[in-house]
């Protein structure tokens, strides 16, 4: 696009282009204009690494609309990840859920944390512990907001 001289003035257009390049760090730095493309990405794709990057960008941006999709993505990827190579992405998703999750996220994360790993080791015990940590982070943030 740059070779064609396309330089969008609209921040939302720049965000969509950054998403196409998988520039998640750049998206986080764009702030609010990047939220819609990142939310659309989380709604459509379930790749552990890219979902973790999108969730981290949304948590950094702090758009409250991301609370439910980030928690849902963390639980979905945590329930079905492919193996040890995906564990860091699951843990990152859980950390992002703790950073941006709201009261909605507490019950599903607690339910996930109570699971027993199946014969394939899913969910990983570290993911279960990370879900407990996410719940604690959400509760602490909600409690701090009430003071």
Mind listing the pLDDT tens digit for each residue in 49-69? 999 999 999 999 999 999 999
Nearest to 111 by CA among 89, 135, 83, 144: 135
Indicate the domain borders of the chain: 11-146
Q: Find the DSSP H helices in the chain.
A: 11-20, 24-30, 35-44, 48-61, 67-80, 87-100, 103-113, 125-146
Q: What pLDDT was estimated at residue 52?
A: 97
Judge contact between 19 and 38, C-beta under 8 A. yes
- State mean pLDDT over 123-144: 93
Check whether 8 has a pLDDT greater than 80: no
- Alpha carbon distance 20, 121 (integer Å): 34
Q: What pLDDT was estimated at residue 9?
A: 82
């Amino acid at each position: 696009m740059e070779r064609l001289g396309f330089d969008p003035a609209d921040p939302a257009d720049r965000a969509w282009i950054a998403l196409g390049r998988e520039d998640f760090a750049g998206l986080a730095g764009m702030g609010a204009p990047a939220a819609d493309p990142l939310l659309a990405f989380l709604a459509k794709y379930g790749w552990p690494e890219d979902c973790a990057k999108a969730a981290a960008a949304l948590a950094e941006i702090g758009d409250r609309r991301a609370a439910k999709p980030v928690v849902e993505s963390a639980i979905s990827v945590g329930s079905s990840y492919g193996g040890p190579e995906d564990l860091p992405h699951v843990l990152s998703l859980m950390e992002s859920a703790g950073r941006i999750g709201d009261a909605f996220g507490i019950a599903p994360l607690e339910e996930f944390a109570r699971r027993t790993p199946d014969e394939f080791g899913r969910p990983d015990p570290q993911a279960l512990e990370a879900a407990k940590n996410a719940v604690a982070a959400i509760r602490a943030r909600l409690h701090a907001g009430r003071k």
